[in-house]
Structure 1
């Protein structure tokens, strides 16, 4: 599973899976297990804003911190995403 970064943000790895590249850009947030089942899922818009689809085990505070991190780093994260997926940002689907 490709991680966007090798470090954790607010105690969670940010990643995507090879199975989910058929969807628009999104970010899973999970602890060391890196499983979709317990992870949070954020769809990312072209301006860096994100929409929380699944909360997983994240608190409201953790959600806000991760959303802020995504907003500040979405361009760099998109480079990793677009290397494996032809799908664009959330809301830009054709």
Structure 2
């Protein structure tokens, strides 16, 4: 069993805002097994026309984060747009997810 000795990143945040029918979730810091569920909960917004997951300020992204994004893609379907940081894009490319319709250029 792996235990994160340092705990969650104190700089992590996942802040949701809704305007004009679009939910925007801005995520900062590290998204890993200790923070991925928080990101997921922040982005599980019902009754919106579209959702943007802004990961441009994410500095670390692991398999738990990938799993959370895939859950969001299932939940939101074509209404989801993901804006990746360079680190996030690289992880998604390595994972074979670079061609997903929800991933923004």
User: How does the TM-score come out when normalised to structure 2?
Assistant: 0.31
Q: Which has the higher helix share?
A: 2
Greater strand percent: which structure? 2
Higher relative contact order (CA 8 A, sep 6+): 1
Greater Rg, structure 1 or structure 2?
A: 2
- TM-score (norm. length: structure 1): 0.33
